[in-house]
């Protein structure tokens, strides 16, 4: 009898369909964020219209939503199913794929407890980071990734080669730079630490939440260029508003939450805001849920320097990083120093700046 052959491009073992959980019915103080609909991006005048809509958000808030990005909820849910399958593996299987965190390399598995949330208190978060499928970054992968590799690569490439390219064009327009000024340093074939991340925050008891001051992840900024957070109906992400208050980020159907990260802040001498966000315990009606996450972290080509860009807008505003300690730091070194630093113990006493590289600090908040 002929052996059963799997179809090329289809997983050898179909995954159970992923069902998203219900939204919270709690009434929370949601942040009011701009939503960009990318579905008419190619229409005449559309880029300028979207850039105008985005300008204030990226300067003052650092967070916004996108819709019309060309991936269906089914495709997104299929990625959640992959993450769920991976995290259900026994720990001894998962640690075979452990990332080289000690050198700031996130390629692979990051076990829970790798970072401190509060002094003496370790996190409850697992991550599995799948870097780009290019020869320089290949590594051994678990079966669930190998079996679904074609679909994961297609999903990653859509984000990297379509969605983020559009966002980088809009940001270049805001900065009055040629449209390809930022896309050039963010190509799929560039060696960089871009990755698709599957994440799980395992729920804690009410008593544990009290001991952790409700924190799952301290207030922080992200390290690279942009972060894209696929819709996750469990309320837990909060952003720090310009007045220092924290607001919840509502997960709207069909949307991705996007935030500006450190490298874009360096490149714009602070004009683009790498804003502080944190993850807290969900409201009571979602407190029992193990919160799965799906994110894409966009990082620039490793060798690009952090020196501010020569932008007409920044020049008019007098924003330059001339003589700044960041000028000669490579973006990839910054990202890796921040990943490495995340394994350190936290300091006592709440909100602290932490040295990262070349005398430059990163901000952390409780
Ligand atoms: O899980 C979330 O909502 C945010 C995660 C996050 O901030 C991060 O991984 O950098
Ligand atoms: Fe983050």
CATH number of the domain to which 83 belongs: 2.60.120.330
> Among 115, 200, 227, which is best to mutate for testing ligand 1, by the most ligand atoms less than 8 A from CB?
227
For residue 351, what pLDDT is reported?
A: 62
C-alpha 1 to ligand 2 mean position (Å): 52
**276 Cα to the center of ligand 1, angstroms:** 11
pLDDT in tens for each of the 366 residues of the chain?
Answer: 444 455 555 666 789 999 999 999 999 999 999 999 999 999 999 999 999 999 999 999 999 999 999 999 999 999 999 999 999 999 999 999 999 999 999 999 999 999 999 999 999 999 999 999 999 999 999 999 999 999 999 999 999 999 999 999 999 999 999 999 999 999 999 999 999 999 999 999 999 999 999 999 999 999 999 999 999 899 999 999 988 999 999 989 999 999 999 999 999 999 999 999 999 999 999 999 999 999 999 999 999 999 999 999 999 999 987 667 888 999 999 999 999 988 777 766 666 788 888 888 887 777
In this prediction, residue 11 carries a pLDDT of 66
Q: Give the pLDDT score at 1.
A: 43
| Structural domain includes residue 2 | no
Asked if residue 123 has its Cβ within 6 Å of ligand 1, the reply is: no
Q: Does the beta carbon of 54 sit less than 6 angstroms from any atom of ligand 1? A: no
C-alpha distance from residue 220 to each of 150, 233, 237, 356 (Å): 33, 21, 12, 13
Domain boundaries, position 315: 35-364
CA of 310 to the centre of ligand 1 (A): 31
Residue 12 located in a structural domain = no
Distance (angstroms) between ligand 2 centre and the Cα of 221 equals 6
Distance CA 49, CA 36 (A): 10
* Closest ligand to Cα 217: 1
- Residue pair 132/266 in contact by the 8 Å Cβ criterion: no
pLDDT for 345 equals 72
How much distance in Å is there from the Cα of 54 to the middle of ligand 2? 20
**Closest Cα to atom 2, ligand 1: which residue?**
237
Pocket of ligand 1 contains residue 170 by CB under 6 Å: no
pTM: 0.94
Output the CA torsion 293→354→332→320 (10° steps): 110
Best residue among 193, 224, 290, 295 to mutate for probing ligand 1's pocket (most ligand atoms within 8 Å of CB) is 295
27 in a structural domain: no
Please work out whether the CB of residue 222 comes within 6 Å of at least one atom of ligand 1: yes
Task: Report whether residue 293 contacts ligand 1, using a CB cutoff of 6 Å.
Answer: yes
Cα dihedral value 268, 269, 270, 274, nearest 10: 60
Q: Ligand 2 centroid vs 7 CA: distance in angstroms?
A: 38
Q: With a 6 A CB cut-off, is 132 part of the ligand 1 pocket?
A: no
Q: Is the CB of 261 under 6 A from ligand 1?
A: no
Rounded Cα distance, 50 and 338, in Å = 32
Residue 279 lies in a domain: yes
The residue among 33, 30, 25, 22 whose CA lies nearest residue 57 is 33
- Which candidate, 288, 205, 253, places its Cα nearest to that of 23? 253
Query: Residue 3: inside a domain, yes or no?
Result: no
* Distance from residue 115's CA to the centre of ligand 1 (Å): 14
Structurally, the chain folds into a number of domains equal to 1
Which amino acid residue places its CA nearest to atom 8 of ligand 1? 222
Residue 20 included in any domain: no
In a domain? residue 226: yes
Atom of ligand 1 nearest to the CA of 249: 3
For 180, the token pair is 């390809």
Query: ipTM above 0.85?
Result: yes
Q: Which helix H or strand E contains 294, and what residues bound it?
A: strand 291-298
Q: Determine whether the shortest distance from the Cβ of 229 to ligand 1 is under 6 A.
A: yes
Looking at residue 342, its pLDDT comes to: 83
226 CA from centroid of ligand 2 (Å):
10
CA 298/CA 313 separation, integer angstroms: 24
In a domain, 24, yes or no: no
Q: Are 256 and 171 in contact (CB under 8 A)?
A: no
């Amino acid at each position: 009898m002929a052996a059963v052959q799997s179809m090329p491009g289809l997983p050898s073992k179909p995954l159970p369909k992923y069902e998203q959980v219900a939204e919270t019915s709690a009434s929370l103080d949601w942040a009011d964020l701009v939503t960009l609909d990318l579905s008419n991006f190619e229409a005449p005048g559309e880029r300028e219209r979207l850039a105008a809509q985005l300008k204030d958000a990226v300067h003052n808030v650092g967070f916004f939503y996108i819709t019309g990005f060309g991936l269906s909820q089914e495709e997104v849910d299929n990625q959640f199913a992959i993450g769920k399958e991976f995290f259900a593996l026994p720990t001894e299987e998962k640690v075979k794929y452990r990332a080289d965190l000690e050198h700031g390399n996130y390629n692979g598995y990051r076990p829970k407890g790798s970072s401190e949330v509060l002094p003496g208190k370790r996190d409850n978060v697992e991550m599995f980071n799948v870097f780009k499928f290019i020869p320089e970054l290949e590594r051994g992968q678990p079966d669930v990734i190998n079996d679904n590799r074609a679909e994961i690569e297609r999903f990653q490439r859509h984000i990297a080669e379509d969605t983020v390219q559009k966002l980088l064009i809009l940001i270049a327009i805001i900065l009055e730079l040629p449209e390809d000024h930022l896309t050039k340093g963010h190509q799929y074939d560039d060696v960089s630490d871009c990755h698709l991340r599957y994440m799980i925050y395992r729920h804690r008891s009410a008593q544990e939440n009290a001991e952790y001051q409700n924190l799952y992840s301290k207030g922080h900024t992200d390290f690279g260029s942009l972060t894209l957070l696929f819709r996750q109906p469990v309320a837990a992400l909060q952003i720090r508003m310009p007045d220092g208050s924290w607001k919840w980020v509502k997960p709207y159907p069909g949307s991705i939450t996007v935030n500006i990260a450190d490298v874009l802040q360096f490149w714009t001498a602070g004009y683009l805001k790498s804003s502080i966000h944190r993850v807290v315990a969900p409201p009571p009606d979602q407190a029992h849920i193990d919160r799965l996450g799906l994110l894409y972290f966009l990082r620039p080509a490793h060798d690009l320097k952090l020196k501010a860009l020569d932008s007409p807008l920044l020049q008019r505003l007098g924003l330059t990083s001339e003589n700044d300690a960041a000028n000669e730091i490579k973006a990839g070194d910054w990202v890796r120093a921040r990943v490495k630093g995340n394994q350190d113990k936290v300091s006592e006493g709440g909100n602290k700046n932490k040295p990262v590289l070349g005398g430059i600090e990163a901000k952390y908040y409780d």
